[in-house]
Amino acid sequence: MGDEKIVSIVVPAYNEEGSIKQALEELKKVSFKQLGFGREIIVVNDGSRDKTGEIIKSIKGIKAISYSQNRGKGFAIRKGFKEAKGEIIAIQDADLEYNPANIVGLLKELLNGREVVYGSRFLGKPKNMSFTFYFGNRVVSTATSIIFGQRITDMETCQKVFKRSLLKKFSLKANGFDIEPELTGKFIKAGIKILEVPIPYTAREKAEKKINVTDGIKAVLTLLKVRLVG
Whether residue 162 contacts residue 115, with contact meaning beta carbons closer than 8 Å, is answered with: yes
What's the first-to-final CA gap in the chain, in angstroms? Answer: 36
Q: What is the CATH number of domain 6-228?
A: 3.90.550.10
Query: Is the whole model's pTM more than 0.75, yes or no?
Result: yes
Band of pLDDT at residue 1, cut at 50, 70 and 90: low
Query: Would you mind telling me the total number of residues written for the chain in this entry?
Result: 230
Assign 3-class secondary structure to 158-178: CCEEEEHHHHHHCCCCCCCCC
Band of pLDDT at residue 216, cut at 50, 70 and 90: confident
Output phi, psi for 89, to 5 deg: -115, 135
**Whole-number Å distance between alpha carbons of 133 and 8:** 29
**63 has pLDDT over 80:** yes
Q: What is the DSSP string of 45-111?
A: EES-SSSHHHHHHH-TTSEEEEESS---HHHHHHHHHHH--SSEEEE--SSSSS-TTHHHHHHHHHH
- Domain positions in the chain: 6-228
pLDDT per position as a tens digit, 154-204: 999 999 999 999 999 999 999 999 999 999 999 999 999 999 999 999 887
